[in-house]
Structure 1
Amino acid sequence: MPPTTAELVHDRNLGDLLKHRDVVLEGCEAPQRTARVVLADMLGTDEARTDDAMLVASELIANAIQHAGGAVSFRIEVYELGSALGVVDRASDTGALPVSPSNSSTEPTDVAVSGRGLFIVQRLANTWSVEQTENGKIVIAVLTQAGSR
């Protein structure tokens, strides 16, 4: 079983925290672009790492917009061996997120028209989770550097 986000982050499997930034997205005209700019600044020149993180962040923000009334903020934590990305929204129903996201509809041979966001996150991130916050929830994805699992 893969480690949980809490295990990776709080049990220091990612090493020391190097950088942390919270970005307000509420009221932002282009929240996904804003998150990508912050990620590029914080993750630097590792193109593969940055590309995966940008796609994961974009999917998490899109899900918050589509299913939770919008993204409130974006959190990025850069560790020695990876990063943790979180998107906060105001919806409090953590049970609405599928435990095992899928890329198909009810028929195994059909591809779903929507609902692939968390499937993409699950494929790119080492682990992801959802946690209650004071005013909603945060969906967190952890991406480790190659070879640091």
Structure 2
Amino acid sequence: MQRGVIPVLGPTSTVLPSGQVRDAGRPTTHAAIDLCDLDAPQRAARGIVRTTLAGKADSGYMDDVVLVADELVGNAVEHAGAALDISLDVYDWGVAVQVRDRGEDTTAVPGKPLAADEDDEGGRGLFLVDVLASAWGVQRDDKGKRVIAIFLYRAGDAE
């Protein structure tokens, strides 16, 4: 997916419809890092989000984006063996986070997150993504798949 083109967004947190795109405008800031071969890819992901959003978003908004980026990278490591990269695009309307991995099964990411049982140690990650992101989804690309999370600014989020 090229920068400046994002999947169509719904009014609330929903899975992005595959293949639907719209012109998002030009990002005001773009950051990306290769996560291959890093000992701590989630730490690197958290760092790029904090560095990129410093001075652009309030701490609560930034914390939401950091948590989701951490979760997406963690899922890539756990379920696809490794995260390839993370990119962050900041727009006038919000932020788009994309995490790529070599996994090819886009159906492995459920359309709606399943609720974890009370005693489960895991299984809440995509639920958090669904709650915190304005929209999110998964798409195939030339190297595997990418999971995209969109965060629209709300009143008072941008600094």
* TM-score normalised by L of structure 2: 0.80
> What does residue range 112-127 of structure 1 map to in structure 2 within 5 Å?
112-127=120-135
Unpaired segments ≥5 residues, structure 2: 1-5, 10-20
Instruction: Give the letter for the 1:63 counterpart.
Output: N
Say if 2:116 and 2:122, in contact at 8 Å, map to a contact too: no
Partner of 1:100: 112
Partner of 1:83: 95
Partner of 1:10: 22
Shift of 1:16: 4.2
Partner of 1:131: 139
Instruction: Give the letter for the 1:59 counterpart.
Output: E
31, 34, 38: which is aligned to 1:28? 38
Partner of 2:80: 68
In structure 2, distance between residues paired with 1:93 and 1:23? 23
Shift of 1:73: 0.3
Say if 1:83 and 1:144, in contact at 8 Å, map to a contact too: yes
Say if 1:40 and 1:50, in contact at 8 Å, map to a contact too: yes
Flag as ranges the 4+ runs of structure 1 deviating above 6 A.
none
Change (3 A) 1:58 1:117: same
Say if 2:133 and 2:150, in contact at 8 Å, map to a contact too: yes
In structure 2, distance between residues paired with 1:102 and 1:147? 30
Instruction: Give the letter for the 2:7 counterpart.
Output: A
Larger helix proportion of the pair:
1
In structure 1, distance between residues paired with 2:102 and 2:147? 11
Deviations 1:14-65 (A, max 9, x none): x541111221001011111111111111111421111000000000011001
Unpaired segments ≥5 residues, structure 1: none
38, 45, 53: which is aligned to 2:48? 38
Count of residue correspondences = 138
Instruction: Give the letter for the 1:31 counterpart.
Output: P
Instruction: Give the letter for the 2:36 counterpart.
Output: E
Say if 1:21 and 1:75, in contact at 8 Å, map to a contact too: yes
Shift of 1:111: 5.0
In structure 2, distance between residues paired with 1:36 and 1:62? 11
In structure 2, distance between residues paired with 1:17 and 1:42? 12
Instruction: Give the letter for the 1:125 counterpart.
Output: A
